Amino acid sequence: MRAIASILFLLFFTNGISGQRGENSLTITPLKDDFYVFTTFNLYKGKLIPANGMYLVTNNGVVMFDTPWDTTQFQPLLDSIENKHNKTVVLCIATHFHEDRTGGLNYYSQRGIKTYTTKKTDGLSKERGMKRAEFLIEQDSTFTMGQYSFQTYFPGPGHTTDNIVVWFDKEKILYGGCLIKSADDNDLGNLSDANTNQYAATLRNVQAKCKKPQYIIPGHGNWINTSSLDHTLQMARQFEKKD
Protein backbone atom coordinates (compact mmCIF):
# COMPACT_ATOMS: atom_id res chain seq x y z
CA MET A 1 0.00 0.00 0.00
CA ARG A 2 2.86 2.35 0.89
CA ALA A 3 4.52 1.55 -2.45
CA ILE A 4 1.33 2.52 -4.31
CA ALA A 5 1.17 5.78 -2.36
CA SER A 6 4.78 6.53 -3.26
CA ILE A 7 4.08 5.94 -6.95
CA LEU A 8 1.07 8.27 -6.81
CA PHE A 9 3.18 10.87 -5.07
CA LEU A 10 5.89 10.65 -7.71
CA LEU A 11 3.32 11.08 -10.46
CA PHE A 12 1.93 14.15 -8.71
CA PHE A 13 5.38 15.53 -8.04
CA THR A 14 6.47 15.10 -11.65
CA ASN A 15 3.40 17.03 -12.73
CA GLY A 16 4.22 19.75 -10.19
CA ILE A 17 7.76 20.15 -11.49
CA SER A 18 6.55 20.24 -15.07
CA GLY A 19 4.12 22.96 -14.06
CA GLN A 20 6.93 24.96 -12.50
CA ARG A 21 8.78 24.96 -15.80
CA GLY A 22 5.67 26.47 -17.28
CA GLU A 23 3.48 28.77 -15.24
CA ASN A 24 2.71 26.90 -12.02
CA SER A 25 5.48 27.16 -9.43
CA LEU A 26 3.36 26.52 -6.34
CA THR A 27 1.59 23.32 -5.33
CA ILE A 28 -0.61 22.88 -2.26
CA THR A 29 -1.47 19.36 -1.11
CA PRO A 30 -3.82 18.34 1.71
CA LEU A 31 -2.01 16.35 4.39
CA LYS A 32 -4.59 15.63 7.11
CA ASP A 33 -7.61 17.53 8.40
CA ASP A 34 -6.49 21.19 8.58
CA PHE A 35 -2.87 20.53 7.59
CA TYR A 36 -1.50 21.31 4.13
CA VAL A 37 1.92 20.99 2.51
CA PHE A 38 2.97 23.71 0.09
CA THR A 39 5.83 23.18 -2.34
CA THR A 40 7.78 25.74 -4.35
CA PHE A 41 10.77 25.25 -6.60
CA ASN A 42 14.15 26.86 -7.12
CA LEU A 43 17.46 26.18 -8.82
CA TYR A 44 20.29 24.65 -6.80
CA LYS A 45 23.53 23.76 -8.59
CA GLY A 46 21.73 23.96 -11.90
CA LYS A 47 18.89 21.62 -10.90
CA LEU A 48 15.28 22.48 -10.14
CA ILE A 49 14.70 21.45 -6.52
CA PRO A 50 11.36 21.33 -4.65
CA ALA A 51 11.13 22.82 -1.17
CA ASN A 52 8.32 21.88 1.23
CA GLY A 53 6.61 24.08 3.76
CA MET A 54 3.43 23.48 5.72
CA TYR A 55 0.46 25.48 6.93
CA LEU A 56 -2.26 24.81 9.45
CA VAL A 57 -5.76 26.26 9.34
CA THR A 58 -7.08 27.07 12.83
CA ASN A 59 -10.14 28.82 14.19
CA ASN A 60 -7.94 31.85 14.89
CA GLY A 61 -6.16 32.05 11.56
CA VAL A 62 -3.53 30.20 9.57
CA VAL A 63 -0.08 29.25 10.85
CA MET A 64 2.71 28.85 8.29
CA PHE A 65 5.85 26.81 8.82
CA ASP A 66 8.73 28.14 6.69
CA THR A 67 8.31 30.43 3.70
CA PRO A 68 8.38 29.67 -0.03
CA TRP A 69 11.80 29.27 -1.59
CA ASP A 70 10.60 30.90 -4.79
CA THR A 71 10.34 34.63 -4.04
CA THR A 72 7.64 35.07 -6.70
CA GLN A 73 5.32 32.85 -4.63
CA PHE A 74 5.24 34.82 -1.37
CA GLN A 75 1.98 36.58 -2.25
CA PRO A 76 0.40 33.82 -4.38
CA LEU A 77 0.63 31.50 -1.38
CA LEU A 78 -1.19 34.03 0.82
CA ASP A 79 -3.80 34.54 -1.89
CA SER A 80 -4.30 30.80 -2.34
CA ILE A 81 -4.76 30.28 1.39
CA GLU A 82 -7.27 33.10 1.68
CA ASN A 83 -9.23 31.98 -1.37
CA LYS A 84 -9.30 28.34 -0.28
CA HIS A 85 -10.02 28.78 3.42
CA ASN A 86 -11.38 32.33 3.75
CA LYS A 87 -8.76 32.93 6.43
CA THR A 88 -5.52 34.88 6.59
CA VAL A 89 -2.04 33.84 7.74
CA VAL A 90 -1.38 35.27 11.20
CA LEU A 91 1.81 33.49 12.23
CA CYS A 92 4.93 32.18 10.45
CA ILE A 93 7.75 30.15 12.01
CA ALA A 94 11.00 29.47 10.13
CA THR A 95 12.95 26.36 11.11
CA HIS A 96 16.50 27.48 10.29
CA PHE A 97 18.36 30.38 8.70
CA HIS A 98 18.75 29.20 5.10
CA GLU A 99 16.93 31.10 2.37
CA ASP A 100 14.53 28.26 1.56
CA ARG A 101 13.13 28.71 5.10
CA THR A 102 13.50 32.41 5.89
CA GLY A 103 13.33 34.12 2.49
CA GLY A 104 9.82 35.48 2.98
CA LEU A 105 10.08 36.64 6.60
CA ASN A 106 10.43 40.36 5.85
CA TYR A 107 7.69 40.22 3.24
CA TYR A 108 5.27 38.59 5.65
CA SER A 109 6.20 40.83 8.58
CA GLN A 110 5.40 43.86 6.43
CA ARG A 111 1.93 42.41 5.86
CA GLY A 112 1.17 42.16 9.55
CA ILE A 113 2.00 38.47 9.97
CA LYS A 114 3.86 37.64 13.19
CA THR A 115 7.14 36.00 12.17
CA TYR A 116 9.26 33.88 14.48
CA THR A 117 12.64 32.18 14.54
CA THR A 118 14.79 30.96 17.40
CA LYS A 119 17.36 33.30 18.89
CA LYS A 120 20.11 31.11 17.43
CA THR A 121 18.58 31.35 13.96
CA ASP A 122 18.32 35.12 14.29
CA GLY A 123 22.00 35.37 15.17
CA LEU A 124 23.00 33.35 12.10
CA SER A 125 20.59 35.29 9.89
CA LYS A 126 22.10 38.57 11.04
CA GLU A 127 25.64 37.25 10.53
CA ARG A 128 24.92 35.91 7.04
CA GLY A 129 22.73 38.76 5.84
CA MET A 130 19.60 36.61 5.64
CA LYS A 131 16.01 37.68 6.33
CA ARG A 132 15.12 38.00 10.01
CA ALA A 133 11.94 37.48 12.01
CA GLU A 134 10.14 40.05 14.13
CA PHE A 135 9.90 37.81 17.20
CA LEU A 136 12.36 35.37 18.78
CA ILE A 137 11.83 31.98 20.40
CA GLU A 138 14.16 31.89 23.39
CA GLN A 139 13.78 28.17 24.15
CA ASP A 140 11.73 25.12 23.20
CA SER A 141 8.14 26.38 23.33
CA THR A 142 4.53 25.28 23.07
CA PHE A 143 2.26 27.38 20.87
CA THR A 144 -1.53 27.24 21.00
CA MET A 145 -3.49 28.61 18.08
CA GLY A 146 -7.24 28.07 18.02
CA GLN A 147 -7.96 24.37 18.54
CA TYR A 148 -4.36 23.23 17.94
CA SER A 149 -1.18 23.10 19.98
CA PHE A 150 2.34 22.34 18.80
CA GLN A 151 5.88 22.38 20.10
CA THR A 152 9.03 23.88 18.62
CA TYR A 153 12.02 21.71 19.51
CA PHE A 154 15.75 22.17 19.05
CA PRO A 155 17.16 18.61 19.09
CA GLY A 156 20.78 19.63 18.44
CA PRO A 157 22.89 20.54 15.40
CA GLY A 158 22.56 18.60 12.17
CA HIS A 159 21.74 20.15 8.80
CA THR A 160 22.62 23.45 10.46
CA THR A 161 23.54 24.43 14.01
CA ASP A 162 20.14 26.05 14.53
CA ASN A 163 17.67 23.62 12.93
CA ILE A 164 14.44 23.03 14.83
CA VAL A 165 11.52 20.70 14.25
CA VAL A 166 7.83 21.25 14.97
CA TRP A 167 5.90 18.47 16.71
CA PHE A 168 2.13 18.03 16.88
CA ASP A 169 1.86 15.40 19.60
CA LYS A 170 -1.90 14.88 19.43
CA GLU A 171 -1.98 14.58 15.64
CA LYS A 172 1.40 12.78 15.47
CA ILE A 173 2.68 15.11 12.75
CA LEU A 174 6.39 15.89 12.64
CA TYR A 175 7.45 18.87 10.56
CA GLY A 176 11.15 18.14 10.21
CA GLY A 177 12.33 20.82 7.83
CA CYS A 178 15.74 20.26 6.25
CA LEU A 179 17.07 18.28 9.23
CA ILE A 180 15.14 15.31 7.84
CA LYS A 181 15.77 14.06 4.32
CA SER A 182 13.24 12.41 2.06
CA ALA A 183 13.20 8.61 2.05
CA ASP A 184 14.12 8.90 -1.64
CA ASP A 185 17.34 10.83 -0.99
CA ASN A 186 20.69 9.11 -1.34
CA ASP A 187 22.70 11.51 0.80
CA LEU A 188 22.37 14.23 3.43
CA GLY A 189 22.33 16.99 0.83
CA ASN A 190 23.78 20.42 1.54
CA LEU A 191 26.31 20.03 4.37
CA SER A 192 27.96 23.45 4.06
CA ASP A 193 26.61 24.51 7.47
CA ALA A 194 26.16 21.05 8.96
CA ASN A 195 27.54 19.39 12.05
CA THR A 196 28.10 15.86 10.78
CA ASN A 197 29.62 14.66 14.06
CA GLN A 198 26.39 15.29 15.96
CA TYR A 199 23.85 14.77 13.17
CA ALA A 200 23.00 11.19 14.17
CA ALA A 201 22.70 12.06 17.86
CA THR A 202 20.39 14.95 16.99
CA LEU A 203 18.11 12.63 15.00
CA ARG A 204 18.00 10.20 17.93
CA ASN A 205 16.81 13.10 20.08
CA VAL A 206 14.02 13.70 17.57
CA GLN A 207 13.02 10.04 17.77
CA ALA A 208 12.95 10.19 21.55
CA LYS A 209 10.86 13.37 21.60
CA CYS A 210 8.50 12.71 18.69
CA LYS A 211 7.28 9.18 19.19
CA LYS A 212 5.44 7.23 16.49
CA PRO A 213 4.81 10.06 14.00
CA GLN A 214 2.15 9.24 11.44
CA TYR A 215 3.33 11.98 9.08
CA ILE A 216 6.85 13.33 8.62
CA ILE A 217 7.45 16.38 6.42
CA PRO A 218 11.05 16.76 5.21
CA GLY A 219 12.35 20.03 3.84
CA HIS A 220 12.62 18.67 0.31
CA GLY A 221 11.09 15.81 -1.66
CA ASN A 222 8.68 12.99 -0.90
CA TRP A 223 6.77 13.12 2.40
CA ILE A 224 4.53 10.10 1.71
CA ASN A 225 7.09 7.60 2.99
CA THR A 226 7.28 7.91 6.78
CA SER A 227 10.59 6.04 6.96
CA SER A 228 12.33 9.34 6.20
CA LEU A 229 13.52 9.89 9.78
CA ASP A 230 14.98 6.38 10.06
CA HIS A 231 16.47 6.74 6.58
CA THR A 232 18.12 10.04 7.48
CA LEU A 233 19.52 8.55 10.67
CA GLN A 234 20.97 5.64 8.72
CA MET A 235 22.74 8.06 6.37
CA ALA A 236 23.97 10.16 9.29
CA ARG A 237 25.38 7.07 10.99
CA GLN A 238 27.28 6.14 7.86
CA PHE A 239 28.66 9.64 7.59
CA GLU A 240 29.54 9.63 11.26
CA LYS A 241 31.67 6.53 10.81
CA LYS A 242 33.77 8.25 8.18
CA ASP A 243 34.93 10.99 10.58
Q: Which are the catalytic amino acids?
A: 96, 98, 100, 159, 190
Give the 3-state secondary structure percentages of the chain, helix then strand then coil, rounded to 5: 35, 30, 35
Q: Beta-strand (E) ranges in 1-133?
A: 26-32, 35-44, 47-58, 61-65, 89-93, 114-118
* Distance of alpha carbon 220 from alpha carbon 202, whole angstroms: 19
Residues 6+ apart with CB under 8 A from 146: 58, 59, 60, 61
Report DSSP state, residue 31. Answer: E
